[in-house]
Amino acid sequence: MNRKLIAGNWKMNLNVKESVHLAKTVAAGVSNLKDPNADVLICPAFLSLEQCGKTLKDSPVMLGAQDVCANDEGAYTGEISSAMLLSAGCEFVIIGHSERRKYYCETNETVNLKVKKALERGLKPVMCVGETLQERQDEIFEAIVGEQITEGLKEVSEDQLNFVTIAYEPVWAIGTGVNATPKQASDMHLFIRRKLSQLCSSGTAEAVRILYGGSVNAKNAKEILAAKGIDGALVGGASLKAEDFLTIISAC
């Protein structure tokens, strides 16, 4: 069984001052837990990363970004490179979140370019996959997620897979208050793990952490995190409230 990872995706919320305050509160809360049963990651907006990185300097709480450019540097107005994220103290980066796929037209191909670039530069990608409600109703969710996994991880070596985390986030469960049942999530995690084992040895596939995301909150976290094959959670809304986020961490 993998050590759990609880990650907070703050999305486009909080200014720098508010982000630093929340980072500080989470870090203090995690220190108070003494020996938490999980690794903890927060992913603030780009603008707040550097200050949050400073705040987390002596804390076990890790820092991640919510996206990264697939290029190294140059004329890409508005983009942020892997090197910039590393210099701000990031260890992780979320890639291919469904909101980026939906609103910014990211495809499995762009996700793959970003994953490869992040790995090449020493960032750990949290690659998001998940089906829409229509795809679930049409019963093609395994085909969709399977393709997101194989296309997103194309040309990623077995060595590099050791630094990859997958987040299964069914689109219909994000921000809706309707979480996947532990059985639905568990079944998909087992499916994803089988897909991974087609790309690498079973040992490596077992060691890749697969997080569940979609309406995880302080009330349902325990049940979801106890389900088979679930190595943690990628939390949106509930990660903006320190108390709720700490409750989710304690549920591990």
Figure out which of the listed residues 27, 70, 129, 216 binds ligand 13P, where binding follows CB under 6 A.
Answer: 216
- Least spacing, CB of residue 58 vs ligand 13P, in Å: 27
* Residue least distant from ligand 13P (Cβ): 236
Residues 38-77 that bind ligand 13P (CB under 6 A): none
Q: Which of 50, 131, 169, 189 is catalytic?
A: 169
**C-beta closer to ligand 13P: residue 29 or 237:** 237
Residues 191 and 179: beta-carbon distance below 8 Å: no
161-193 as b/e: b if 16+ CB within 10 A: bebbbbbbbbbbbbeeeebbebebbbbbbebbb
Please, what sign has the CA dihedral across residues 53, 207, 32, 58?
negative
User: Which residue pairs, CB below 8 angstroms and at least 24 apart, start in 25-34?
Assistant: 25/242, 26/61, 26/242, 26/245, 26/246, 27/55, 27/56, 27/59, 27/61, 29/242, 29/245, 29/246, 29/249, 30/59, 30/60, 30/61, 30/246, 30/249, 31/59, 31/60, 33/246, 33/249, 33/250
Q: Which of 97, 99, 135, 189 is catalytic?
A: 97
- Least spacing, CB of residue 230 vs ligand 13P, in Å: 14
Q: Judged by CB under 6 A, does residue 130 bind ligand 13P?
A: no
97 counts as catalytic: yes
Residues 4-23 that bind ligand 13P (CB under 6 A): 9
Stretch of residues binding ligand 13P (CB under 6 A), selected from 73-81, 84-92, 192-200, 213-221: 213-221
**C-beta closer to ligand 13P: residue 70 or 95:** 95
Residues 141-180 that bind ligand 13P (CB under 6 A): 169, 174-175
| Phi, then psi, of 108 in degrees rounded to 5 | -55, -30
**C-beta closer to ligand 13P: residue 125 or 213:** 213
**C-beta closer to ligand 13P: residue 7 or 153:** 7
- Least spacing, CB of residue 9 vs ligand 13P, in Å: 4
- Least spacing, CB of residue 202 vs ligand 13P, in Å: 28
Residues that bind ligand 13P (CB under 6 A): 9, 97, 169, 174-175, 213-216, 234-238
Catalytically annotated residues: 97, 169
